[in-house]
């Protein structure tokens, strides 16, 4: 259940790549500056010190630095360790032998849902994020669809190599790298395997300088080894807590916290919040048959997000019982007192019992009977506004059909009158145009 993923660190991804015959630089991981110095002196060459955090764009953020000697490596590591990159604290650095980079190439394997094929993508404009290339110069991206029964063919790898402008031995070496990457992707049940950049060195050799593997959580049971390396430190505490309670939670950047049962209903709820001008703070599916404990955990997670200005509960009780949900809400609010307004829509199994529990707890909650009403209330609450019910629709007036063959007299007189007034109005205009025409002559 859920569409979560396990991201592997650069050093972990590159170790896997190496296992598949992809050339990577020599290097080791350090968690202190002193260790970084040690590794640099072992390597005995210019090194690159790289922050190991699970985000892209570390280079731009100052998390990748070249050091000429062990002392420099120590200084640079000192700076990078503890650095905050896109909300994540750097706890480890990879100290790699520095590469002499002539060109940066992008090479990635992804799932192309539209084509229902695994796709290999490459671009001679590597180094920068591929999304950027896709936006600014999509023609620079080479794509090859891979038949799952045949796998990546040699001719396909050569086709990519030629398109990248590779020469001589590079073409053969690229074939090894491409097939290794494809194999690694499949064996890891990955949703992404990427080398960015794959560099051409001063000696004309290919080298995977960066690596990224994202695996599909649905296949975690097949990869206890990969699951074990999951870096819990790297997850936001909310995501870690959600996973512990079996909740599907994805943090977004809006103001309305949403607690919903069922992924489809959760998406619908987010859409409707958007429709009424709000913006969801998260996707959260508490799942079927959620217990009070689970609901309490979910609410704690939602309220831990400082952006949340209002919480919208949209619970459709089927297997999930509304009274259990209500108990969870009450107990969570005892644990985490909050000023955030709450809007609750509880319908289905045991809804009366659920409402009674909420009413008995004298909570500052608004209830709603439809999703539209609930969303409107939540949007208003998040803006600190009073909910104004929409005006009732205009009454539908029943007009009995006339059965008489005689047309109503009023219509007959109305028509010529209208014509007359149009003619009258047109008179001065006609006069004016005639004058103009005369003048022109």
What residues make contact with Mn ion under the rule CB under 5 A? 196, 210
Min dist CB 103 to ligand GDP, Å, is 10
User: What whole-number distance in Å separates Cα of residue 269 and Cα of residue 262?
Assistant: 10
The minimum distance between CB 188 and ligand GDP, in angstroms, equals: 20
User: What is the smallest separation between the CB atom of 53 and Mn ion, expressed in angstroms?
Assistant: 12
- Contact partner, 191, from Mn ion, ligand GDP, none, Cβ < 5-8 Å per class: none
For residues 52 and 376, which CB has a smaller minimum distance to ligand GDP in the complex? Answer: 52
Q: Which is nearer to Mn ion, 196 or 349 (CB)?
A: 196
Q: How far is the CB of 108 from ligand GDP (least distance, A)?
A: 12
Considering beta carbons, is residue 66 or 363 the nearer one to ligand GDP? 66
Cβ closest to ligand GDP, residue 55 vs residue 252 = 55
Residue 209 binds which one of ligand GDP, Mn ion, none, with CB within 5 to 8 A depending on kind? ligand GDP
Say if strands 88-89 and 248-251 run parallel, antiparallel, or are unpaired.
unpaired
**Smallest distance from Mn ion to CB 23, Å:** 16
Cβ 184 vs Cβ 193: under 8 Å: yes
Smallest gap from residue 210 Cβ to Mn ion (A): 4
Contact 305, 373 (CB under 8 A): no
Contact partner at residue 57 from Mn ion, ligand GDP, none, CB < 5 to 8 Å by partner kind: ligand GDP
Return the H-helix or E-strand segment holding 198: strand 190-201
Listed in sequence order, the residues at least 6 apart from 58 whose beta carbon sits closer than 8 Å to its beta carbon are 50, 51, 64, 85
State which residue, 210 or 216, has the beta carbon closest to Mn ion: 210
Rank residues 127 and 287 by Cβ distance to ligand GDP and give the closer one.
127
Which one, 124 or 252, has the nearer CB to ligand GDP?
124
Cα angle 336, 340, 345 (rounded to 5 degrees) comes to 95
User: Which of ligand GDP, Mn ion, none has residue 101 at its interface (CB below 5 to 8 Å by kind)?
Assistant: ligand GDP
Please give the residue whose beta carbon sits closest to Mn ion in the complex.
Answer: 210
Nearby residues of 198 by Cβ (< 8 Å), 6 or more positions away: 104, 105, 106, 107, 126, 177, 206, 207, 208, 209
Looking at the Cβ atoms of 198 and 303, the one nearer to ligand GDP is 198
Shortest gap between Cβ of 56 and ligand GDP (angstroms)? 5
For 23, phi then psi, to 5°, come to -70, 130
Query: Among this protein's residues, is 106 annotated catalytic?
Result: yes
The DSSP H or E segment spanning 284 is strand 282-285
Task: Let me know: does 321 contact 350? Beta carbons within 8 Å.
Answer: yes
C-alpha distances in angstroms, 263 versus 66, 111, 216, 244, 305?
45, 22, 18, 18, 21
- Where does 261-370 have alpha helices with state H? 263-275, 292-303, 322-335, 351-360
Cβ-contact 53, 211 below 8 angstroms: no
Strand partners for 49: 65, 95
Q: Residue 295 class from Cβ within 10 Å (0-12 exposed, 13-18 middle, 19+ buried)?
A: buried
In b/e form, how buried is each residue of 127-160, taking b as 16+ CB within 10 angstroms?
bbebeebeeeeeeebbebebeeeeebeeebbbeb
Q: Of 35, 72, 74, 194, which residue is the catalytic one?
A: 194
Given a contact cutoff of 8 angstroms between Cβ atoms, the answer to whether 322 and 354 are in contact is: yes
Catalytic residue list contains 249 = no
Query: Which DSSP helix (H) or strand (E) runs through 306?
Result: none
**Residue among 106, 249, 324, 351 flagged as catalytic:** 106
Structure tokens at 202: 């001063």
In the complex, the smallest distance separating the C-beta of residue 110 from ligand GDP, rounded to whole angstroms, is 16
Residues that bind ligand GDP (CB under 6 A): 48, 50, 56-59, 64, 66, 96, 98-99, 101, 104, 127, 196-197, 209-210
Q: Which residues are catalytic?
A: 106, 194
């Amino acid at each position: 259940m859920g569409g979560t993923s396990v991201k592997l660190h650069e050093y972990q991804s590159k170790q896997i790549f190496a296992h598949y015959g992809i050339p990577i630089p020599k290097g080791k991981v350090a968690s202190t500056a002193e260790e970084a110095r040690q590794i640099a002196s072992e390597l005995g060459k210019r090194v690159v010190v790289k922050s190991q955090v699970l985000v892209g764009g570390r280079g731009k953020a100052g998390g990748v630095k070249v050091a000429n000697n062990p002392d420099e490596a120590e200084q640079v590591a000192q700076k990078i360790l503890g650095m905050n990159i896109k909300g994540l604290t750097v706890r480890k650095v990879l100290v790699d032998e520095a590469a002499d980079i002539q060109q940066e190439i992008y090479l990635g394997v992804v799932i192309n849902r539209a084509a229902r094929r695994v796709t290999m993508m490459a671009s001679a404009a590597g180094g920068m994020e591929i999304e950027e290339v896709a936006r600014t110069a999509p023609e620079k991206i080479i794509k090859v669809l891979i038949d799952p029964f045949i796998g990546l063919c040699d001719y396909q790898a050569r086709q990519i190599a030629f398109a990248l402008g590779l020469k001589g031995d590079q073409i053969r070496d690229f074939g090894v790298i491409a097939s290794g990457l494809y194999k690694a992707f499949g064996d890891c049940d990955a949703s992404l395997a990427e080398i960015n950049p794959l560099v051409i060195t001063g000696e004309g050799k290919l080298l995977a300088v960066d690596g990224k593997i994202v695996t599909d959580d649905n296949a975690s049971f097949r990869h206890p080894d990969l699951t074990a390396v999951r870096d819990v430190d790297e997850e936001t505490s909310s995501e870690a807590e959600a996973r512990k309670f079996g909740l599907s939670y994805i943090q977004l950047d809006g103001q309305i916290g949403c607690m919903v049962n069922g992924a489809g209903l959760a998406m619908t709820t987010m859409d409707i919040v958007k429709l009424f001008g709000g913006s969801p703070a998260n996707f959260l599916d508490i799942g079927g048959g959620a217990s009070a404990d689970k609901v309490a955990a979910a609410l704690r997670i939602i309220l831990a997000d400082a952006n949340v200005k209002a919480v919208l509960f949209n619970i459709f009780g089927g297997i999930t019982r509304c009274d259990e949900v209500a108990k969870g809400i009450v107990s969570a609010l005892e644990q985490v007192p909050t000023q955030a307004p709450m809007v609750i829509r509880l319908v289905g199994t045991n809804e009366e019992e659920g409402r009674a529990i909420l009413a008995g707890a004298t909570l500052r909650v608004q209830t709603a009977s439809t999703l539209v009403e609930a969303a409107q209330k939540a949007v208003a609450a998040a803006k600190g506004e009073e909910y104004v019910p929409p005006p009732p629709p205009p009454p539908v007036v029943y007009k009995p059909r006339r059965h008489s063959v005689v047309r109503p007299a009023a219509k007959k007189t109305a028509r010529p009158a209208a014509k007359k007034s149009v003619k009258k109005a047109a008179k001065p205009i006609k006069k004016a145009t005639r004058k103009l025409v005369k003048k022109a002559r």
